Amino acid sequence: MTAKATEILALNAFSGAEGGIRDPEVAALVERRKRTFGAASVLFYRQPLRIVRAEGANVYAASGRRYLDFYNNVPSVGHCHPVVVEAVSKQLAALNIHARYLHETVQDYAEKLLATFPRELSNIIFTCTGSEANDLALRIARKASGGTGFIVTEAAYHGNTAAVTEISPSSYKTGAPPPHVRTIAPPDPRRFRGQLGTGFAQAVRGAIAALKADGIRPAGLIVDTIFSSDGVFADPPGFLAEAVRSVRKAGGLFIADEVQPGFGRTGAGLWGFARHGVVPDIVTMGKPMGNGYPVAGLVTRPELLAAFAEDFGYFNTFAASPAAAAAGLAVLNVIEQDHLIENAATVGGRLRARLLDLGKRYPVISAVRGAGLYLAVEFSRGGDGERPAPDILSALIDGLYERGILIGAAGRYGNTLKVRPPLCVTAINADELVDAMAEILAAMEAAGRLPGSSV
């Protein structure tokens, strides 16, 4: 593999428009942004998008133009869903305060959410972000195992605190993770040649041995159970089980990061880990949990939490507030009432079938992967995945943007189209995406811009 690894925030990013920004109002806002946000500013697209409102799977620009959203998983039950908006608004107008008083909505939410997990995971801690949940998960795992070492995949992203950045190799622009963090290859079936479960577990055992050789005891294996930043690896269900057994045998914990696959996205129940038939020691979650209101948290076994609580108190000012609980409860209700898990399965299934068809027509599509409404379309020269083609994907993403569709890239080499819309997208929306992709690829082929094509 000769391609260069891409830092996660560089994917699809605005890095100065060739020929300038067309819309003078957008140009003025970009200038203001640069002056205030400085070097840390990250924007999408060469012609950045200025948006003003959204509903369902549609986002509207200041110009009034509609964009179909195939990128955003935070407004998971649909942008500005009226049930969530009403629940949060009513609660904000009545009371919003920290969690050291009793409140029925907070309790109702905790109980309803815990009821969706295996029985042993019966305690919950709320946070505001997935990063905070993962940070806490690392601390609980360290206490429970007596170790400090963590194993992660090579393009993992788990968040932005100091400790969590260390276990997020895709965040590194330079340098490498510290010695207590060992990376393993993502579970790409092509890499493990038909032995995915065993091969991935062997990689975990290799990382455990490497940690031990350096005198570091393993504390745990943490994975995003759909491996989104690695390029989306979902199949075959069950492949994680042997790796989980291996880390436990070495005294470590298994932490399932459900920030991406959780809350029904895979179309097979609420949680990604369940597809693998494993019960994690800790599950972390966030993003879609409050449909845009910051709600996140972790669930674990009571004894793990009790051990942690012997050493430290944990308080999070904004977490588990009545408004956060109202948002979270409304999201769970809407997932049920709007049959969103079923929608993820049916619309996701149709989308996957159509993308596979497109792949037959265009060999530059080297793989279509995923589950439910978390799909990935990989682009490479030669069609075997060995020579990533992020340039072709980037042109496709720009073309989709021109046609009014928002979407992004993933994977270590930025050559994987990440298809991750709100769960309320329809079959018509799925067709809009694939038709637009087909149009753009046909135009690229006609212009001799696809490998193997000539003008």
Ligand X SMILES: Cc1ncc(COP(=O)(O)O)c(C=O)c1O
Q: Give the nearer residue to ligand X in terms of CB position, either 232 or 332.
A: 232
Please tell me whether residue 158 binds ligand X under the rule CB under 6 A: yes
Choose between 262 and 267: whose C-beta lies nearer to ligand X: 262
Cβ proximity to ligand X, 166 vs 224, nearer residue? 224
**Phi, psi for 116 (deg, rounded to 5):** -85, -5
Residue number, 136 or 430, with CB nearest to ligand X: 136
67 alpha carbon, distance to own chain's centre? 21
String marking each residue 100-139 x if it binds ligand X according to CB under 6 A: -----------------------------xxx--x-----
Piece of 254-262, 272-280, 338-346, 404-412 that binds ligand X (CB under 6 A): 254-262
Longest dimension (CA), the chain: 70
> Contacting ligand X (CB under 6 A), which of 203, 259, 395, 409?
259
The residues in 39-58 that bind ligand X, with binding defined as CB under 6 A, are none
- 76 near ligand X, rule: CB under 6 A: no
- The residue within the footprint of ligand X, chosen from 147, 159, 267, 411 (CB under 6 A), is 159
| Residues 6 or more apart in contact with residue 424 via CB below 8 angstroms | 56, 57, 77, 78, 338, 340, 343
Q: Does 445 bind ligand X (CB under 6 A)?
A: no
Contact string 291-310 vs ligand X (x = CB under 6 A): -----x--------------
DSSP conformation class of 150: E
Both tokens of 51, joined, read 């948006």
| Alpha-carbon torsion, ordered 8, 160, 266, 73, to 10 deg | -80
Q: In what order do the strands lie in the sheet with 66-69?
A: 51-55, 58-61, 66-69, 405-406
Binding mask 337-356 for ligand X (x = CB under 6 A): --------------------
Give least dist CB 2 to ligand X, A.
27
**Which among 38, 44, 8 is positioned nearest to 26, based on CA atoms?**
44
User: Per-residue x/- mask for ligand X, residues 210 to 229, rule CB under 6 A?
Assistant: --------------x-----
Which residue has the closest beta carbon to ligand X? 130
User: If DSSP codes are grouped into helix, strand and coil, which group holds residue 168?
Assistant: coil
Q: How far is the CB of 186 from ligand X (least distance, A)?
A: 13
- Which is nearer to ligand X, 250 or 296 (by Cβ)? 296
Number of chain residues interacting with ligand X (CB under 6 A): 15
How many CB atoms sit inside 10 A of residue 379's CB? 31
Q: Using alpha carbons only, what angle is made at residue 285 by residues 378 and 13, rounded to the nearest 5 degrees?
A: 40
- Choose, by CB under 6 A, the member of 199, 286, 411, 421 that binds ligand X: 286
Cα distances (angstroms) measured from residue 52 to each of 33, 67, 202, 294, 300: 17, 11, 49, 20, 39
Q: How far is the CB of 8 from ligand X (least distance, A)?
A: 8
- Per DSSP, the residues of 285-350 read E-GGGGBTB--EEEEE-HHHHHHHHHH-----TTTT-HHHHHHHHHHHHHHHHTTHHHHHHHHHHH
The residue ranges that bind ligand X (CB under 6 A) are: 129-131, 134, 157-160, 224, 257, 259-260, 286-287, 296
